[in-house]
Structure 1
Amino acid sequence: MKEHLCKITAHETLVHYLGKNTQNELIQILANAIKEKIVEAAHSAKYFSIILDCTPDVTHVEQMPMIIRFLEMEKSEDENNVEVLIKEHILGFVPLKETTGAFMTETILQELETMSLSVENLCRQGYDNGSNMKGKDNGVQTRMMEINPRAFFVPCSAHSLNLVVNDAATCCLEASSFFDLAQCVCVFLRLNTPLGNSELPYEFSNCETT
C-alpha cells in the first residue's frame, strides 16, 4: 500500500483505485463483513428483539432502519465470572414502497429470513405509536404476535413521552395562549420591519412565519 501511494504521489501511475465506485464497493464489503459478525452473535444468543421506525429520506422514500437487540455473555478478566451485556446493532436501512401494517410485516419477515433469524425466537417488538405499527387489528405488532405470541410489543418511550407533552401543552389554556401570542408577535414584527434591519432582538429577528 505504501509503495502504491508513493507511485501515485510521484505520478508514476494513473491507476489509484480511489474513485467513488471503488470506495463504495470497499464500504459495502466492510459493511457486509460487520453485518455477518453481528448476525453470528445474534444466532449464538438465540433470542432477540427488534426495534423499528420509519422516516423519509431526501427523495421522500420511507426508510426503515432494522435494529436488533440480544444478550451476549462475556467472561470477566479473572475468567471466574460471566458478564451479561445488552447488545444493540443497526443492520441497515430498508426502503419501503408502502407503510401499511401488512406490507411492513412482510418486509420484516423477509429481512429476518435473509439473516436466517427465526421469528420464533423473537421475544420483543419495539415500535412507535402509529396506528400502522401498534394497531390492535392491522398493526405490525398484532400481525407479528399472530405468528409468535411471545413477541411482546413495547411502545417507544420517547414517542410516548412526546405525545404526553404535546397533549399536556394543548390542553393547557395558558400554554396554548402563550405560544399563540408569541407567534403573533413574531409575524407582526416580520411584516412591519424593513428588510435588512438588524436592530431587532435576536429571538425576534430569527422568527419564522407560518
Structure 2
Amino acid sequence: MKDRSNALGRIDHMLTIQLDEEINYWRNILKRVVACVKALASRGLPFRGHDEKIGSLHNGNYLMSLELIAEFDPFLAKHIARYGNPGSGHTSYLSSTTCEEFIRLMGEKILKTILMEILTAKYFSLIIDSTPDISHVDQLTIVIRYVLPHGSPVERFLKFIPNTGHKSEQVTNAVTSTLTQFGIDISNCRGQSYDNATNMAGIYNGLQAKIKEISPLAEYVPCPAHSLNLVLSVQLKVSKKLARSFLYCKSYTISS
C-alpha cells in the first residue's frame, strides 16, 4: 500500500492542490490589503470615505489605494473586477471589516512592543491630557516618555480612556488602573507633565500631587505647550487693548 501510494498519490491529491491554490490566492490578496493598511496608518491618514464602492470618487483612501495598485497589478485588477462590489454575504477581503481587523491586530502588536520597551527602560515619565473627539466624547490621552537602550528618548501613545471625569481623583484612578493593566509599575515614574489646570497641576489635590504620593521621585514640570498657549492668549488680549488705544489716539490726533 505504501508503494502504491508513492506511485499513484493519495486519493485526495487533486483536492489538496485546489485547496493550496485557494489558500495562496487569498493570501496574496491579503498581502496587498495589509500593505495599504500599513501605509495609511503609518501616515495617520483616514481610511473610509462616504461610501465603500469600487470606482466611486468618495470611497476613501483605503479603497483608492487598492484601485491605484490594481492599475499596475493584473492579479489585483482581476480580483477587483470579480469581487469589487459583491454586496453583503460575499467574501472579497476588501471590505472595511477586514481593514479594521488588521488595524486592531497591528495595534495590539505595536502595543506589545511599546510595553516591552517600557519594561526594559524601567523608568519613565507621564504626559496626560484630555480633549473631546469629533463625536464630543471626552478622552483622556496617556503618553509615556522613556529612553531606549541606545540612549534616544521617545514618546509613545499608550491609550485613550473615554469619559473618566475631570476630578483629580477620577483621573488618578484612571491612570493608575491603566498602568496596572499594562503591567507598568507606577513607582518607577520619574516625571510628570500636564497642563496648568488645578485638577492636574494642583500642588495639594491635583493629579501631580496624588502621583507623587505613590512615587515621590516623579517630578512635575508644567507642559511648555500649554504654558506658551496661555502666554499667547494673554498677550493677544493685551495687544488688542493696546491696538484699540493706539487707534483711538491716532484718530483723536487726526481730528485735532
Return the TM-score normalized by structure 1: 0.73
2:80 aligns to what? 9
Which structure features the higher share of strand residues?
A: 1
| 1:19–1:148 distance in 2 versus 1, CA, 3 Å | same
Return the offset for 1:2: 7.4
Q: Would you say the 8 A contact 2:164–2:171 is kept in 1?
A: no
Letter of the 1:35 counterpart: L
2:49 pairs with 1:27: no
Distance in 1 between residues matched to 2:143 and 2:127, nearest whole Å: 5
1:44 aligns to what? 120
1:64 aligns to what? 140
Return the offset for 1:105: 0.5
Identity %: 32
Return the TM-score normalized by structure 2: 0.61
Q: Would you say the 8 A contact 1:51–1:126 is kept in 2?
A: yes
Distance in 1 between residues matched to 2:118 and 2:126, nearest whole Å: 11
Unmatched runs of 5 consecutive residues or more in structure 2: 1-22, 30-74, 248-256
Return the offset for 1:150: 0.7
2:210 pairs with 1:143: yes
2:200 aligns to what? 133
| Paired positions, count | 171
Letter of the 1:107 counterpart: A
Distance in 2 between residues matched to 1:92 and 1:147, nearest whole Å: 21
SS in structure 1 at match of 2:161? strand
Distance in 1 between residues matched to 2:198 and 2:236, nearest whole Å: 22
Higher mean displacement: 124-133 or 52-61: 52-61
1:130-186 deviation digits (Å, cap 9, x = unpaired): 11110123211111111111111111011112212323443x4x632536999xxxx
Which structure features the higher share of helix residues?
A: 2
Q: 2:240 aligns with which of 170, 175, 184?
A: 175
Distance in 2 between residues matched to 1:53 and 1:181, nearest whole Å: 39
Distance in 1 between residues matched to 2:190 and 2:131, nearest whole Å: 25
Letter of the 1:3 counterpart: Y
1:92 aligns to what? 159
